[in-house]
């Protein structure tokens, strides 16, 4: 199927690139060929079943929009194809597929509100799942999960601790508080004093990760603390028997 897809797209003048994947055949196409690609796949290849459309936040690279198409051509056999394209973060814009696949309508609405991607010529591009007045796009990586900040996180407390635990004594060591997942450093988000520079919300996500600890080689064994050797017993004085010596058998007369 992947060869048929690439051949049909090449004949249509579309530059498509096959992507190595563990699942269905995956191809990358330019954003300007987004609608034409799906027209060829539907009419020439026969991928008439539209499964889903979604996106992923690739940070500085932009947003990757993905569709999954299929063809049920008899029995239990199904051909699948994943189609992807990349659009810039500064102006995430892509033509709608709702005129080709009716099922793309709601998927594009969800992607619009979750990622802030605009689908041109969509008949009704309004929020689908979020309540009225909701601000922001929850699936963007710079979006702060405010609910994790407002509510206590169990992982920030030791077992047995509570909000009414007695205060610790002065000088006693305190446990390092751990931020829950999705909550950035307080210096990179939240209200700022008037006149202060606005922080870059993507800076924490783009920071290089801490290098992982080196792994041991297969032949290397974990070192353990060796027990200190016990001192040897003092040698017996002349005329004294060693306490560890075996006593002689009683002689019978």
Model pLDDT for residues 67-110, shown as the tens digit of each residue: 999 988 666 677 889 999 999 999 999 999 999 999 999 999 99
What's this model's pTM, rounded to 2 decimal places? 0.61
Q: Which residues contact 70 (CB under 8 A, 6 or more apart)?
A: 47, 49, 51, 78, 79, 80, 81
Look at residue 235 and tell me if it is in a domain: no
Confirm if 139 and 84 have CB atoms less than 8 A apart. Answer: no
Look at residue 124 and tell me if it is in a domain: yes
Whole-angstrom distance, CA of residue 135 vs CA of residue 183: 17
Among 6, 1, 32, residue whose Cα is nearest residue 17: 6
Look at residue 250 and tell me if it is in a domain: no
Confirm if 47 and 81 have CB atoms less than 8 A apart. Answer: yes
Give the domain extent around 99: 2-151
Whole-angstrom distance, CA of residue 231 vs CA of residue 247: 24
Question: What's the average model confidence in pLDDT over 7-11?
Answer: 91
pLDDT reading at 57 higher than 80: yes
Look at residue 15 and tell me if it is in a domain: yes
Give percent of the chain with pLDDT exceeding 70. Answer: 55
Look at residue 112 and tell me if it is in a domain: yes
Can you give the CATH number for the domain in which 13 is found?
3.30.460.80
Look at residue 114 and tell me if it is in a domain: yes
Domain count of the chain?
A: 1
Whole-angstrom distance, CA of residue 39 vs CA of residue 13: 13
Q: What is the dihedral of CA 111, 112, 114, 116, to 10 degrees?
A: 130
> What values do phi and psi take at 54, rounded to 5?
-155, -170
Whole-angstrom distance, CA of residue 138 vs CA of residue 142: 9
Residue 240: pLDDT band by 50, 70, 90 thresholds? low
Look at residue 203 and tell me if it is in a domain: no
Look at residue 227 and tell me if it is in a domain: no
């Amino acid at each position: 199927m992947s060869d048929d897809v690439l051949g049909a797209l090449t004949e249509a003048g579309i530059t498509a690139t096959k992507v190595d994947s563990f699942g269905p055949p995956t191809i990358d196409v330019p954003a300007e060929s987004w609608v034409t690609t799906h027209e060829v796949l539907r009419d020439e290849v026969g991928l008439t079943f539209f499964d889903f459309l979604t996106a992923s936040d690739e940070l500085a690279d932009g947003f990757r929009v993905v569709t999954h198409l299929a063809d049920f051509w008899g029995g239990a056999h199904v051909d699948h194809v994943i189609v992807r394209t990349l659009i810039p973060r500064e102006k995430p814009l892509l033509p709608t597929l709702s005129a080709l696949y009716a099922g793309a309508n709601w998927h594009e609405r969800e992607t619009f509100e979750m990622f802030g991607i605009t689908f041109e010529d969509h008949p009704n591009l309004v929020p689908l799942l979020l309540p009225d007045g909701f601000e922001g796009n929850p699936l963007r990586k710079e979006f702060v999960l405010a609910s994790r900040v407002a509510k206590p996180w169990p992982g920030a407390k030791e077992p047995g601790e509570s909000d009414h635990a007695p205060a610790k004594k002065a000088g006693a060591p305190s446990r390092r508080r751990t931020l829950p997942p999705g909550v950035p450093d307080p210096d990179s988000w939240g209200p700022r004093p008037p006149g202060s520079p606005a922080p870059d919300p993507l800076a924490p996500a783009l920071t290089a990760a801490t290098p992982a600890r080196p792994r041991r080689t297969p032949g290397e064994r974990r070192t353990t603390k060796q027990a200190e050797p016990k001192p040897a017993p003092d040698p017996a004085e002349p005329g004294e028997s060693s306490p560890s010596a075996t006593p002689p058998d009683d002689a019978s007369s």
